[in-house]
Amino acid sequence: MAITRRGNKTKELKRSLMRRDSQDSPVEFISSGSTTLNLALSGKGIKGGWGRGRIHNIVGDGSSGKTLLALEEAFWFFNNIKEIKPNIFPEVKKLIICYDNGEGVMDFPVKKMYGKDFLKEVDWKRSDNFEAMCRRYIRLSSALRKGHALLYIIDSWDSFQSAKSKEAFMKSVKDDEELKGDYDLLVQKYASRKFFPNICDKMDNNKVDSTLCIISQVRSKINARFGKKQYRAGGKALDFYTHQVVWIRELERMAKTKLKQKKVYAIKSHVKVERSKVAKPFRESEFTILYDYGLDNINSMIDFLWGSKTIKFRGAKFDSRPQFIKFVEGNNLEVELMKATERLWWKVEDMFEKEVKKRKRRY
């Protein structure tokens, strides 16, 4: 399968990004890197995705693709945000990407996947505690001026502990004593009473072009007989203040055999939009994550449009996926494939909307 440098945009994609929407929308978007995921998130493919100037939450277990989704969002933001012709925010002259990595390690080959310019542009941080992380984001957001755009990624919410909790724990280690006191709810209280209310003040009427991406770990309920068996830590604040919440899980590990050695080269992940204030909720998406590359948008669109059926495109049939992918990339037809994906998605959505229109009006 041919792999192209994703930083090189086709002319048609560049024109699509620079073109204003014919109708003003109360929300603008940052692409997820996947056309089908963009549609699930926002109802738009090429110009859809994560709500810009909003808060979104990516929830999942280990190796499901949470960090990858955040990196893909940052990569798209880095490559495209200055070329957007927005209806709401000013055109971007300066972009700021801060990746606050509470887990302390980044095992992805970022330079190999996204290039040295992206690696250099991102401000890779690790705040000392939860309150310090919150203050850092508020400071950056408050300092934004006209034409500035901020993307702040927290990876992960669960990895940050409160300042008092960390201090008490380190003291207990030094003194070789049991930890005294209860610090479990300090993070939730600070988030709900201090952090999120101040963010909302900044986001009111799109005062600043500041987008917050929060990654959360999945936790399991012990002996759960009813309802969801998994939940996300963080308290009710994350439920109330977020604009988009997605749950991601691994569907399949994809393997190939080379020189009689079978190796996993990609995974297929599934996302369900559990909460959305910017589009219809509970939409779903499946996409392929290719190791050392990232989101494989073309393969994901093939799954959506044809599945295991014969690929028919532009009046021609293709014997294999690699053949079709080479044809699309070699002829810069990615945007045409995106538009075909949008049309099928909208066709299905329109069928449901027509059923609603048949109902008697209530006014």
Reply yes or no on whether the pLDDT at 22 is more than 50. no
**Which token pair is 134?**
């919150």
Of 231-235, 281-285, 312-316, where does mean pLDDT reach its minimum?
231-235
Give residue-wise pLDDT tens across range 87-131: 899 999 999 999 999 988 888 899 999 999 999 999 999 999 999
For residue 334, how many other CB atoms are within 10 A of its CB? 21
Which one has a higher pLDDT value, 167 or 23? 167
Question: What is the C-alpha separation between 275 and 294, in angstroms, rounded?
Answer: 25
Residue type, 257: T
Q: Are 267 and 253 in contact (CB under 8 A)?
A: yes
Percent of the chain with pLDDT over 90: 69
R_g of the chain computed on alpha carbons? 22
Q: What is the chain's mean pLDDT, rounded?
A: 89
In this predicted model, what pLDDT tens digit does every residue of 293-303 receive, in sequence order?
999 999 999 99
b/e 106-124 (16+ beta carbons within 10 angstroms → b): eeeebeebbbeebeebbee
Q: What is the DSSP code string of 13-52?
A: HHHHHHSPPSS--S--EE--S-HHHHHHHHS-STT-SEET
Residue 157 to residue 138: CA distance in whole angstroms: 16
What's domain 11-296's architecture? 3-Layer(aba) Sandwich (3.40)
Confidence of residue 2 (pLDDT cuts 50, 70, 90): very low
Mean pLDDT throughout 20-46? 86
- Give the start-to-end residue ranges of the domains of the chain: 11-296
Q: Report the C-alpha gap between 234 and 238 in whole angstroms.
A: 6
d(CA 279, CA 263): 39
pTM of the model: 0.90
The confidence score (pLDDT) of residue 239 equals 85
The pLDDT assigned to 4 comes to 42
pLDDT: which is higher, 225 or 79: 79
pLDDT at residue 148, rounded to an integer: 97
